[in-house]
Amino acid sequence: MPAPMVDVREAAERHRSGQAVLLDVREPSELAFARVEGALHVPMREVPRRLAEIPRERPVLVLCHHGGRSQVVADWLLAKGYVAQNVAGGIDAWADEVDPSLSHY
């Protein structure tokens, strides 16, 4: 079963309030263009070996550029027993709907 999606506005609110962990799975080079303050950054390929860094006590909202990589990671985390959701539209939608100061790339 695929991990559910969460829209960027709800994800932003849950991240800001501390209700959820925002996990950014983009590559380090992508962070130079746009990053969300306070997000946990673990590139997709490093998630399995860095799993212990991802808190289990709060839901994990997974973010990438457009939502493809984050869906894969959210599905994987869900299978590992995490409460995980994919942030629909990724950082691209975040820049459009939450923080227009972020760059598009």
Share of residues in the chain with pLDDT > 90 (%): 99
CB neighbourhood size of 77 (10 A) = 22
**Cα dist from 19 to 16, 57, 58, whole Å:** 8, 10, 7
Pair 40, 23: CB distance under 8 Å: yes
Q: Is the pLDDT of residue 87 over 90?
A: yes
**Cα dist from 1 to 17, 76, 77, 84, whole Å:** 28, 10, 12, 12
Q: Is the pLDDT of residue 43 over 90?
A: yes
- Structure token pair of residue 43: 């590139």
Q: What is the pLDDT of residues 50-81, one digit of tens each?
A: 999 999 999 999 999 999 999 999 999 999 99
Query: Where residue 1 falls among pLDDT bands split at 50, 70, 90?
Result: confident
5-97 adopts what CATH topology? Oxidized Rhodanese; domain 1 (3.40.250)
Q: Where are the domains of the chain?
A: 5-97
**pTM surpassing 0.95?**
yes
Catalytic residue set: 64
pLDDT at 34: 95
pLDDT at 6: 98
